Structure 1
Amino acid sequence: MADALLFVAGTAGLVIGASLLVRGASKLALSFGISPLVVGLTIVAFGTSAPEVAVSVGAVLDGRTDIAVGNVVGSNIFNVLFILGVSALITPLVVHLQLIRQEVPIMLGASLLLLALGLDGRIGLWDAALMAALMVAYTVFLVVQSRRASAQATEYDEEVKPAAAGAWDARLPVQLLLIAAGLGFLVMGSEALVGAAVNFAKAMGVSDVVIGLTIVAAGTSMPEVATSIAAALKGERDIAVGNVVGSNTFNILGCLGISGLAAGGAGLPLAPSLLAFDVWVMLAVALACLPVFVTGREIARWEGVVFLGYYVAYVAYLILAAQQHDALPLFSNVMLGFVVPLTVVTLVVMLLRPARQA
């Protein structure tokens, strides 16, 4: 009971901290004339991924590197399959052309980079430095791209709108205070969440990797859940998709980069099960975004149902595998022999249909 309360308190701290950080940082960015598009792809996406950073770095410093890496991989799978699935059920999600042309390929590239760097079973110090440098370069690229387009209407028909002069959070000291308070809640929330997760792993007899892929990943993704669902309910359907894509890119490059640097020369070891299965699932999920996004430039409700179904199947597989359940071979055969091939064929047909129509 105490661990459950600790987990809830930790998750609440992460959500509050991310909310304060996003508000303060976005108002600060807008005050300096950065466009709302870039604020969404950077500040909001990075802010909602801040719990992943806090938990992963905290886990590394605590010697729980499996939780750190599993948290990032599990969060990326959760973001696409669960968050986009639920958001699409609320309302079909609009996918802007820039996401298809630029942001999704970058997310795919980051996923492939993680796979390539992790083939030796470890994210070393130089690997982490490369990831962090690429994250900085990507952020600078987005800001420069926004500044060049700020004088004219963008594809989103947005204009740079500084914070209202009379707003309570328009002043620089208030913005800095919000950022500091957000970081404080993130640190406290991450400590509580990691502590509860470790106790859960011991009590349930499962590995840190499985806990990181499921419970911790879902807990640290709560800001993304809140942001995307709120955006879908408000009709801001493009924000729901952009938030997920931007967060996934930051999770790999920023979160693992910072965590790897925090680990120092020891680096981040990748569990064999992650390399053999979960990283490939993350890559497949990222790859599946392209045909789904391209067809009609939206995520339909039935596609949201498919996403949710796959997330349930993924979690079920992790639970069965952790317990070495007798139903695991049958479940695996059904998924690999029927469900996955059928989905691949459907995605290929969806991708080829617009080309034939053109």
Structure 2
Amino acid sequence: MVFILFFLCAVVTVICAIKLSTYADALSEKTALGGMMVGTVLLAGATSLPEVTTSISAIMLDNPDIAIGNVLGSNMFNLLILASFDLYFRKKQIFKGASGEHFYTASIGFLLAVTTLLALSLKLNFTFLGIGIDTLLIITIYAVGMFVLTNLSKKEQIINVDPVEEEEKSKLNSSAISLKRAVYGFIIAAIVILVTGTFLTITGDRIAVITGLGSSFVGSFLIAATTSLPEAIAVLIAIQLRNYNLAIGSILGSNLFNMVILVGTDVLYQQGGVLSFVSPVNQITAAAVSVLSVIILYSLLRKNYHSATTYTFPSVLLIIIYFVSSYLIFVH
């Protein structure tokens, strides 16, 4: 029964993610925010709601390994999603026309991943007002990074816009959605995803017990992959709508938002700094996120490649590192 409920929650999450992506695309068209900011802030926050409820529920169940493993594992899986779609839609070369602002978003993500890795390795259980110093540092980096990113978005414009693609995109059904409908639809879909995330955690915790796989692996792999389904659907729909900045922004922004969840879990965890009370296996996940972030940074920076094969090399490398890291997490 627990496996069936887990599957049903995953299906509902996917359906709502499709709606979220469509409404977010409509919002990016009908407001002054644009695909980059809608993807990085609005869509990323909404698609990260399952991670929010999953991690909070895990803390309530006194299972910090699922809480932290879910966040870091989701970030790993999110980057796998981006690389996989880049490989599948290699002829579209989604990184080629990406806004330069995505590089700054990815840089913030890399810095947060490295900070988390150091915190997990050093395990300095120092707290201030019941919150770990390490997670306070994480939220500070996030706040400063988002402040800088917001200012940059006001000064820079989206680059490499193809007028033909924009004309084709305007013919898609998202343009027929009114602004009011997009706002209300987005909110309703986000609320449903919030609810299903809670059930995913509860059933995932039971699966960890039944299968004996362990909370760290279940959190970093099974639940992380499931709670990342909204991001996967969001990217797919955005690419089909030819809104590549929305696709990239939703993944990179989601990874930033996920790191803020660590702070929320630390606030709720009463035994001390939460990063000091989890399994060392999470260090592998944090290290993997750091390495994968470097590959994404390279993909955003490079401009010249001689063929489709050389273009896809970073994505292929990212996918390989992801599965090697997942194997190491499973073994440990």
Kindly indicate whether residue 253 of structure 2 is the aligned counterpart of residue 223 of structure 1.
Answer: no
Distance apart, 1:67 and its partner CA? 0.7
Give unmatched runs, 5+ long, in structure 2: 163-174
Equivalent residue for 2:159? 155
Kindly indicate whether residue 250 of structure 2 is the aligned counterpart of residue 258 of structure 1.
Answer: no
Equivalent residue for 1:40? 39
- Structure 1 residue matching 2:232: 3-state secondary structure: helix
Q: Are 2:28 and 2:38, in contact at CA under 8 Å, matched by a contact in 1?
A: yes
Q: Are 2:17 and 2:231, in contact at CA under 8 Å, matched by a contact in 1?
A: no
Counterpart-to-counterpart distance in 2, 1:19 and 1:257 = 28
Letter in structure 1 aligned against 2:159: E
Letter in structure 2 aligned against 1:262: L
Q: Are 1:40 and 1:242, in contact at CA under 8 Å, matched by a contact in 2?
A: yes
Match of 1:208 among 215, 233, 249: 215
* TM value normalised by structure 2: 0.77
- Structure 2 residue matching 1:93: 3-state secondary structure: coil
Residues 157-181 of structure 1 show CA distances to partners (whole Å, capped at 9, x for unaligned) of: 59xxxxxxx965423xx56643542
Kindly indicate whether residue 86 of structure 2 is the aligned counterpart of residue 79 of structure 1.
Answer: no
Q: Identify if the C-alpha distance between structure 1 residues 35 and 122 changes in structure 2 by more than 3 Å, giving closer, same or farther.
A: farther
Equivalent residue for 1:344? none
Counterpart-to-counterpart distance in 1, 2:32 and 2:304 = 29
* TM value normalised by structure 1: 0.72
Distance apart, 1:3 and its partner CA? 1.9
Q: How many residue pairs were aligned?
A: 309
- Structure 1 residue matching 2:159: 3-state secondary structure: coil
Equivalent residue for 2:324? 313
Give unmatched runs, 5+ long, in structure 1: 159-165, 323-358
Counterpart-to-counterpart distance in 2, 1:93 and 1:196 = 36
Counterpart-to-counterpart distance in 2, 1:309 and 1:129 = 33
Q: Identify if the C-alpha distance between structure 1 residues 295 and 177 changes in structure 2 by more than 3 Å, giving closer, same or farther.
A: closer
Distance apart, 1:197 and its partner CA? 1.0
Q: Identify if the C-alpha distance between structure 1 residues 175 and 141 changes in structure 2 by more than 3 Å, giving closer, same or farther.
A: farther
Match of 1:280 among 281, 284, 287: 287
Letter in structure 2 aligned against 1:62: L
Distance apart, 1:109 and its partner CA? 1.3
Counterpart-to-counterpart distance in 1, 2:52 and 2:21 = 14
Equivalent residue for 1:348? none
Q: Identify if the C-alpha distance between structure 1 residues 178 and 97 changes in structure 2 by more than 3 Å, giving closer, same or farther.
A: closer
Kindly indicate whether residue 115 of structure 2 is the aligned counterpart of residue 113 of structure 1.
Answer: yes
Distance apart, 1:20 and its partner CA? 5.2
Equivalent residue for 2:165? none
Distance apart, 1:234 and its partner CA? 4.4
Letter in structure 1 aligned against 2:116: L
Based on CA coordinates, which of the two structures has the bigger radius of gyration?
Answer: 1
Residues 12-42 of structure 1 show CA distances to partners (whole Å, capped at 9, x for unaligned) of: 3333455556666776787764343211221
Counterpart-to-counterpart distance in 1, 2:189 and 2:124 = 34
